[in-house]
Chain A
Amino acid sequence: MKASPIENETCKCALPLGQCRRGFRGTLVSVCPLAGNDGYDADELELRLLELGFIEGASVHILHEGPFGHDPIAVRVNDTTVALRRAEAMAILAE
């Protein structure tokens, strides 16, 4: 990412992965689930994402989208491909 003054202030440029489309490539900025976001509580979701390799600094690439409503998404993270629903992917911020 080119550093521009506005982008540098905070992580405004970071997007939740859940809103990104197929072909998105980026670096993971933070994993921060909100409570009640989905079927797991926030810590549990964070632990699971971390276990699968979704950790700050990892490279992420959305390879595929599900056929119905573009959900779920298949994300390449480091050396593995993981399928996630967009609801969970909202907890992942990437730029």
Chain B
Amino acid sequence: MTSAPAINQPKAAQTDPDAQPIEAALVGAPNCGKTALFNAMTGATQKVGNYSGVTVERKVGVATTPAGRKFALIDLPGTHSLRARSPDEEVTRDVLLGQRPGERVPDMILAVGDATNLRGALRLVSELKKIGLPIVMILNMIDIARHRGLQIDHVALSEELGIPVIPATAVRRGGLDELWSAVDPMLEAGLDAPQPSSWAVPSTHDMRVSMREAERLVKTHVIQPPEPDTVSAKIDRVVLHPIAGPIILLAILFVMFQAVFSWAAPFMDAIDWAFTSVGAAVTQLLPDGLIQSFIADGLIAGIGSVIIFLPQILFTFLFILLLEDFGYMARAAFLMDRIMGRAGLNGRAFIPLLSSFACAIPGIMAARVIDNKRDRLTTILVAPLMTCSARIPVYTLIIAAFIPNTKVLGGLSLQGLVMFGLYAAGVFSVLAVAFVARYLFAREERSAPLMLDLPDYKTPILRNIALGLYQRARVFLRRAGTVIFWAMVVIWFLSTFPMAPEGATEPAINYSFAAIIGHFVAPILHPLGFDWHIAVALVPGMAAREVAVAGLATVYAVGGENGLIHTLSDQWSLGTALALLAWYIFAPQCISTLAVIRREAGSAKWMWVAVVYMFALAYLAAFATYQISALLGAG
């Protein structure tokens, strides 16, 4: 995929097809459709979404022209200018100016512009021209522009700019035909040799001049429709209404958690049935003994107890993906800005945080779009407190065991309500931690500014959504097959050996390593109401949250219990269950998240800060919950 490194050296024109492949970089304003183009041209499946700041990294793919020529295409984070204020914009600047060690400057720039908003795009082109690389301008989203009655004279525009200007629609079949038929002759003829770069940080004067020039180009070459788009404006009148707006936001989240419970149930039952049948079949087929125990108790009970949550996780993702594609994320950020500001966070931070409902890792990465360093760091450190989908198995399991499945308040599921409460607790703790951090460390600083594009709404593209779900399911199943599988092997081994001595009276597991380790850790966890079984599940659960559920399943299955939900409601007090929920709101039980924190915050120090504060909060919260429950008689 990547070419041999030739550090920082602009390369002469490339006519020899056997030499290094041509590299073309996609550059443009945020949300103009660069990644959609990248996917369409290379067949990649990078994430696309209708808000600014979806792409925060450099990605490379290989595009093949209709004539069979191959060239490398680079997708970059969107930016309005090469001035680069936030880490994602720095990536774009560094790639274009050859400031990334070990990477050469691309051979050409594909400047992508949103045809419905050409001013900014044309201004950026004037800045890009200064770099000295050959440029082709792509007028993307031409379908929307035409639909609205915008008439763009791209031939005249091309003549005046002195570069090819090609209309395109990244998301429709055939939308790139014009682009492709222009690319082949261009590669055939060979690209112009790069000129020395004359780019310098623009002053406000330069900026005004280039903006005016863009303005003039638009006035000359674009015929605007008399009546601009009104659909988005109409939707916004409701969605951003000062009273209806926040209610709608709450309602969306509320429906999401109810749905996660009710809609996913039939799918979960089906998976449960499948695993139970397989487990029963294995128990019948295999002779009693170690192998049967390993397969039935260790693998099938353990992994099955995790995979059963796949439908709920996919429903959560479905909601988030729909909101992202529709264009709602920026609206949510708008509505929440004031509250976020109170907590010392940027309104933009709400987008990474909302994404963290699905998984904290992309959420933490998305914090790159926040330019203020302190805001970014705070967002990174609090994002893991948002209720990510890996908590769903733990929450669901405990709720199913302890909260009656009844309807309250006219048809709302009580279990769904409790789930909503847990999510709310996550959001609340994010705000509270950010607020305290600000109060302690940055009381004097003003809150950082907010400047956020509110993109036009778009109908979600089914293929995108399906792809997003498919990718998620694959990640989840792969995790079940690797991390969780090995964790199960270890837990089964520890809870089976050493085996019970002859004539033992207690269950065999009580003589195992697991019991020894569990009893060793248990005193620390005793004030939280956790017994040694829970300790055995929590310790490997540091690797990934779901492992704890699988661990409990195995520990109790080896111990001869059947049906995890039933076992839990028998063996645990309500206080213990609530304390475990409280623990899971805060505990940093995910190695991958911690690794990403370290990378994105730029030092191991911040990772440890996250570990310590989250464990401290988890311990305190679980302690308080258990002790209060005990006082009230539920211990």
Chain A interface residues toward B at CB < 8 A: 38-40, 43-53, 55-57, 63-72, 74, 78-85, 87-88
Contact = CB atoms under 8 A, between A and B. Distances in A.
Contact of B202 (A47, A55, A69, A72): A47
B451 A88 contact: yes
A86 B209 CA distance: 26
A1 B123 CA distance: 30
B245 interface: yes
Interface in B197-255: 202-204, 207-208, 211-212, 215, 228, 232-233, 236-237, 240-243, 245-246
Nearest to B202: A47
Nearest to B232: A81
Given A50-B207, A67-B243, A74-B236, A40 B449 contact: yes
Nearest to B342: A68
B93 interface: no
Contact of B449 (A57, A79, A85): A85
Contacts of B347: 72, 83, 85
A63 B233 contact: yes
Contact of A71 (B236, B246, B338): B338
Contacts of A78: 117, 119
A92 B514 CA distance: 66
Contact of A83 (B202, B245, B450): B450
* Majority DSSP secondary structure for residues of A touching B: mixed
B52 to A, nearest CB: 11
Interface stretch (B265-273, B329-337, B467-475, B499-507): B329-337
B338 A52 contact: no
Contacts of B445: 39
B27 to A, nearest CB: 15
A51 B80 contact: yes
A66 to B, nearest CB: 5
Given A43-B204, A74-B334, A67 B451 contact: no
Contacts, number: 122
A43 B83 CA distance: 12
B66 to A, nearest CB: 33
Contacts of A49: 451
A79 B246 contact: no
B83 A47 contact: yes
A64 B236 contact: yes
B86 to A, nearest CB: 11
Closest 10 CB pairs of A and B: A68-B338, A39-B448, A51-B80, A81-B454, A64-B240, A83-B452, A67-B242, A50-B207, A83-B334, A88-B449
22 contacts: A38-B448, A39-B445, A39-B448, A43-B204, A45-B449, A55-B211, A56-B208, A63-B233, A64-B241, A70-B242, A71-B337, A72-B347, A74-B236, A82-B453, A83-B333, A83-B347, A83-B451, A83-B452, A84-B451, A85-B341, A85-B450, A88-B450
B245 A67 contact: yes
A46 B297 CA distance: 65
A68 B240 contact: no
Contact of A65 (B204, B242, B333, B448): B242
B201 to A, nearest CB: 9
B204 to A, nearest CB: 5
Contacts of B450: 72, 83-85, 88
Given A64-B241, A82-B454, 14 more contacts: A40-B449, A50-B208, A53-B211, A55-B212, A56-B208, A63-B236, A66-B337, A67-B335, A69-B338, A79-B116, A80-B453, A81-B232, A83-B333, A88-B451
A24 B177 CA distance: 43
B50 interface: no
Contacts of B334: 64, 66, 72, 74, 83
Contacts of B243: 67
B446 A39 contact: yes
A55 B451 contact: no
A38 B116 CA distance: 31
B545 to A, nearest CB: 34
Contacts of B202: 47
B454 A83 contact: yes
Contact of B228 (A55, A68, A72, A79): A79
Interface in B63-97: 80-81, 83, 85
A91 to B, nearest CB: 10
A87 B449 contact: yes
A50 B120 CA distance: 9
Contact of A39 (B228, B339, B372): B372
A55 B208 contact: yes
Contacts of A50: 204, 207-208, 211
B429 interface: no
Contact of A68 (B207, B339, B446): B339
A87 B450 CA distance: 9
A83 B447 contact: no
Contacts of B117: 78-80
A47 B81 contact: yes
Contacts of B453: 52, 80-83
A87 B337 CA distance: 13
Nearest to B233: A63
A74 B454 contact: yes
A82 B119 contact: no
A85 B587 CA distance: 35
Contacts of A83: 330, 333-334, 337, 347, 450-454
